[in-house]
Structures are given as structure tokens and as C-alpha cells.
């Protein structure tokens, strides 16, 4: 009798020292474009896939990597004819990222974030891509924390369709690992901020407050302002993506571990901009967690840590917004 044992075809790929060809979905967006810079500066080959719905071509053409060669594909992650020939690693940031939009239009959110991710995974499988690095949301998948700071073992219980669709993306990636041996690293981000975050676009309280103050408008704080978030600088997030090339199949929180209330945040920004007025207080927004900060011990064990603190990150964001 022949016994057939299921074999685990999953294996760990090490990219140390290699020149890697990466496809960055959402690479013309806020976080994605910083990852583009980081990979180019480390001599990797970069292909950007972006439908420019919220991303901006300026983010990748009008910066210090001007003279470097980026291959740009103007397509949607849901397109049938995505060509991933020669790609070693996909870094997946293209998404519907607005919590409020997801509550109003959950089908729209799921269509992009769940079906778009499945479509991308199918192409990854067809073209034999070795690894995916996935942008998930530590702010949205855990729901209201049972303990703080929240580590990766904390139960997942999203409070909005966006958190749910990001979690589905994670689970599909893990499924493709089990079925086809796809390597992955899932990064659960805290609240990312920094240069190129669009204050008109989708969330980003820091860029919204700076923009309002610079236009002499009073910022609005939703609720009592004692709600807290963990604000992580975008350059540190880009660095985590670079390091994740050599991380194993696992989920890693990327944040600072520090809680900052929206009131405290307002004070830091007001100080930086020498703003003397008080904010306006309005009713709290639905579908939001009250407190969140991420435990980043696992990322630290892997050699990553945040290097730019809130004050310094805000200074850089202000400088960038003044330069526009
Ligand atoms: O003008 C504003 C804007 C925001 N806020 C408050 O500031 C906090 C942060 O709000 P953001 O909209 O900047 O971000 P969220 O905390 O809603 O972040 C969520 O959306 C992000 C993407 O947009 C990330 O995915 C993150 O993980 C997810 O939790 C919230 O309490 C919000 O009510 C204000 O008081 N005034």
C-alpha cells in the first residue's frame, strides 16, 4: 500500500543582498510611494501598479528618484490582464482605505479590498511570484482592544467593513500559502502619517489638522478628543517593508507602542505652527475604536524599530506641506 502524506510546500526565501524586482500596488499613493523610494534607494527594481484613483503620479515622478527608472502600469488590481512576468515580490498597498466609506459602501470596499486581493493572488500564483508583503491595518482589524498595547495574538474583531476586508485579505494570503506555498509577511500598521498624505483624501488626522491651520481654519475634533491612536512615521513604515523581504510567514505589528490622544496631537501641531486658537469639538464618529496602540515587540525582535518620533515627523510633514 502506498501512503501519501501531504507535504508542506511552503519554504522560506531569503533575499539578502539580492537585487529584487518588486511590484508595488498602490505605489503612487501616500505609503506606497515612500516604499518605492526606499526600494529604489536600495537598488531594487521597481514596478508600480496604480489606477491613480487616489494615488498621484506626482508622488513617484516629482521627487528625488526623478532620474531613476520606475516602470509604471496604470491598471486596477481587479483587471483581468495583469502581467507579473519576472516579478519576485509583490508589495500590496492598493486599497480602499477610508473607514467611513467602508461603513457607507461595504460592497464597494469589499470589491476592491477582497476581490482585488484575490485577483492579485491569482496572478501571483500564475506568474510564480515568490512572496507577497501585505499592508493590513492594526488600527482596524483588532477592534476595541481587550488590553493595551495590542499584540499580534489579540483577537481580531473589526468594527468596520474596512477592518473586515483587510482581515479577509490576510486570510486569503494565508490560504495561498497553504495551497501553493506562497511566502508572505503581513504588516499591521498603526496610524501612518508623514509627507504626501493627502489632507483632502482619505483620513489622516495629522495632515488634516496641519492643512486646516495653514488655511486659517479651525480644526474639528470628533468626540472629546481623549480617544487615542498610535502614530507611526511613513519613512519607518517603508523601512519595515524593505526589511520584510527577509521576514518569514507571519503577521507583524508596525507602530510605536505609544498612545497619543487627539487633544495631545492637536497641541503638538498647534505648537509647531504657532497656532493660538482652540479646536472645534463635534460629535464622535461611528465605527471608530476609542483607544489603540500596537505592541511592537515582534518587529523589534526582527530588528525593526521606529526612528522618527511624533514631533519630528510632524515637523517634516509641515515642511512638506509648506513646500507645495
Ligand atoms: O478632522 C479630524 C479627523 C480625524 N479626527 C480623529 O482623529 C482620529 C484618527 O482619525 P484618522 O481618520 O486619521 O484615522 P483612523 O484612526 O480612522 O484610522 C483608520 O484609517 C486609517 C486609514 O485611513 C488606517 O487604516 C487605520 O489603521 C484605521 O484605524 C480619530 O479618532 C478621528 O475621529 C478628528 O478628530 N478630526
Mean pLDDT by 10 residues, the chain (324 residues): 43 75 97 97 96 94 67 97 98 95 96 98 98 97 97 97 97 98 98 94 87 96 97 98 97 98 98 97 89 98 98 98 94
pLDDT for res 90: 98
Which residues are 17's β-sheet partners? none
Distance CA 134, CA 176 (A): 13
The contacts of residue 156 (CB under 8 Å, 6+ apart) are 141, 142, 143, 167
Ligand 1 pocket, Cβ-based, cut-off 6 angstroms: 97-99, 137, 139-140, 189, 191, 202-205, 208, 220-222, 227, 229, 262, 285, 288
pLDDT for res 64: 59
pLDDT for res 63: 57
Ligand 1 atom closest to the CA of 262, numbered from 1:
7
Q: ∠ at Cα 27 (133, 176), nearest 5°?
A: 30
Residue of the nearest CA to atom 25 in ligand 1?
137
Alpha helices in 42-142 (DSSP H): 58-61, 99-104, 106-110, 116-126, 138-141
Q: Which of 108, 127, 162, 172 is catalytic?
A: 162
pLDDT for res 15: 81
The position carrying cell 470628533 is: 222
11 a catalytic residue: no
Cα(163) to centroid(ligand 1), Å = 13
pLDDT for res 287: 76
Whole-angstrom CA distances from 248 to 118, 133, 182, 244 are 21, 10, 11, 8
The answer to whether 213 touches 272, Cβ cutoff 8 Å, is no
Radius of gyration of the chain from Cα atoms? 20
Whole-model pTM? 0.94
Q: Does the domain at residues 21-194+231-256+294-307 carry the CATH identifier 3.40.50.300?
A: no
Cα(122) to centroid(ligand 1), Å = 32
Q: Is 123 helix (H, G, I), strand (E, B) or coil?
A: helix
Whole-angstrom CA distances from 304 to 56, 241, 254, 255 are 29, 10, 9, 10
Distance CA 239, CA 262 (A): 26
The answer to whether 320 touches 58, Cβ cutoff 8 Å, is no
> Has the ipTM of the complex gone over 0.90?
yes
Residue of the nearest CA to atom 3 in ligand 1?
205
Amino acid at each position: 500500500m502506498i501512503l501519501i502524506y501531504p507535504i508542506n510546500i511552503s519554504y522560506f526565501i531569503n533575499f539578502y543582498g539580492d537585487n529584487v524586482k518588486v511590484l508595488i500596488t498602490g505605489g503612487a499613493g501616500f505609503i506606497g510611494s515612500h516604499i518605492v523610494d526606499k526600494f529604489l534607494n536600495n537598488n531594487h527594481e521597481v514596478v508600480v501598479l496604480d489606477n491613480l484613483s487616489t494615488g498621484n503620479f506626482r508622488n513617484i515622478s516629482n521627487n528625488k528618484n526623478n532620474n531613476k527608472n520606475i516602470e509604471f502600469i496604470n491598471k486596477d488590481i481587479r483587471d483581468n490582464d495583469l502581467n507579473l512576468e519576472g516579478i519576485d515580490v509583490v508589495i500590496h498597498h492598493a486599497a480602499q482605505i477610508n473607514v467611513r466609506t467602508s461603513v457607507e459602501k461595504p460592497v464597494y470596499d469589499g470589491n476592491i479590498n477582497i476581490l482585488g486581493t484575490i485577483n492579485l493572488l491569482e496572478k501571483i500564483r500564475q506568474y510564480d511570484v515568490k512572496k507577497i508583503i501585505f499592508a493590513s491595518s492594526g488600527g482596524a482589524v483588532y477592534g476595541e482592544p481587550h488590553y493595551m498595547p495590542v499584540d499580534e495574538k489579540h483577537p481580531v474583531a473589526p468594527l468596520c467593513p474596512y477592518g473586515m476586508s483587510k482581515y479577509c485579505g490576510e486570510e486569503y494570503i494565508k490560504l495561498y500559502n497553504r495551497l501553493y506555498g506562497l511566502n508572505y509577511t503581513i504588516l499591521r500598521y498603526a496610524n501612518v502619517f508623514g509627507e504626501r498624505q493627502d489632507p483632502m483624501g482619505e483620513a489622516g488626522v495629522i495632515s488634516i489638522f496641519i492643512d486646516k491651520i495653514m488655511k486659517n481654519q479651525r480644526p474639528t475634533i470628533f468626540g472629546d478628543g481623549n480617544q487615542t491612536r498610535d502614530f507611526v512615521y511613513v519613512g519607518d513604515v517603508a523601512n519595515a517593508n524593505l526589511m520584510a523581504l527577509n521576514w518569514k510567514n507571519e503577521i507583524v505589528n508596525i507602530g510605536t507602542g505609544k498612545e497619543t490622544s487627539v487633544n495631545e496631537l492637536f497641541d503638538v501641531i498647534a505648537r509647531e505652527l504657532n497656532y493660538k486658537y482652540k479646536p472645534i469639538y463635534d460629535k464622535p464618529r461611528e465605527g471608530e475604536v476609542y483607544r489603540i496602540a500596537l505592541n511592537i515587540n515582534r518587529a523589534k525582535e526582527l530588528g525593526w524599530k521606529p526612528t522618527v518620533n511624533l514631533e519630528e515627523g510632524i515637523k517634516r510633514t509641515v515642511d512638506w506641506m509648506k513646500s507645495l
